[in-house]
Copies of this chain bind each other. A is one copy, B any other.
Amino acid sequence: MDVDATQRLLRELAHAVADFVKQHPFEEWGVDLGKGADGTAMKLVDEIAEKEIVRVLKAHGGPWNVLSEGGGLIHLGGDGLLVTDPIDGTTNAIRGIPFYCVSLALGRERLSDVEAGIVLNVPTGDVFEAAKGRGATLNGRPLKVRAPGRSLVVSTTHGADVKAAGLRSFGASALEMCLVASGALDAYHYPKPILRVTDVAAATLIVREAGGIVIDDAGADLDLRLTLEPRFTLTAASSREMAKRVGVLPE
Say yes or no: A95-B169 contact (C-beta < 8 A), given A123-B124, A124-B124.
Answer: no
Q: Which A residues, 122 to 176, have Cβ-Cβ distances below 8 Å to chain B?
A: 123-124, 126, 146, 153, 156-159, 166-171
> A146 contacts which chain B residues (CB < 8 A)?
95
How far is A95 from B124 in the complex, measured between Cα atoms in Å? Answer: 16
B153 touches A158 (CB 8 A): no
The stretch that binds B, out of A3-11, A177-185, A214-222, is: A177-185
Partner pick for A95 among B99, B159, B183, CB 8 A cutoff: B183
Partner pick for A167 among B96, B121, B126, B157, CB 8 A cutoff: B157
Judge whether A193 is part of the interface by a CB distance below 8 angstroms.
no
How far is A146 from B169 in the complex, measured between Cα atoms in Å? Answer: 21
Judge whether A77 is part of the interface by a CB distance below 8 angstroms.
no
Name the residue on B nearest A98 (C-beta): B124
Q: How large is the interface on A (under 10, 10 to 19, 20 to 34, 35 or more residues)?
A: 20 to 34
Partner pick for A169 among B121, B168, B183, B184, CB 8 A cutoff: B168
Nearest chain B CB to A111's CB is how many angstroms away? Answer: 26
Partner pick for A153 among B95, B121, B123, B153, CB 8 A cutoff: B95
Q: A99, A126, A158 — which one has the most chain B CB atoms within 10 A of its CB? A: A158
Partner pick for A184 among B97, B166, B179, CB 8 A cutoff: B97
Nearest chain B CB to A244's CB is how many angstroms away? Answer: 20
How far is A184 from B98 in the complex, measured between Cα atoms in Å? Answer: 9
Judge whether A91 is part of the interface by a CB distance below 8 angstroms.
yes
Give 7 closest A-B pairs by Cβ, nearest first.
A158-B167, A96-B184, A169-B169, A95-B184, A97-B184, A123-B124, A98-B124
Extra contacts besides A97-B179, A156-B158 (20): CB < 8 Å: A91-B153, A91-B166, A95-B146, A95-B183, A95-B184, A95-B185, A96-B182, A96-B183, A97-B185, A98-B99, A98-B123, A98-B124, A98-B126, A99-B99, A99-B170, A157-B167, A158-B167, A167-B169, A169-B170, A170-B170
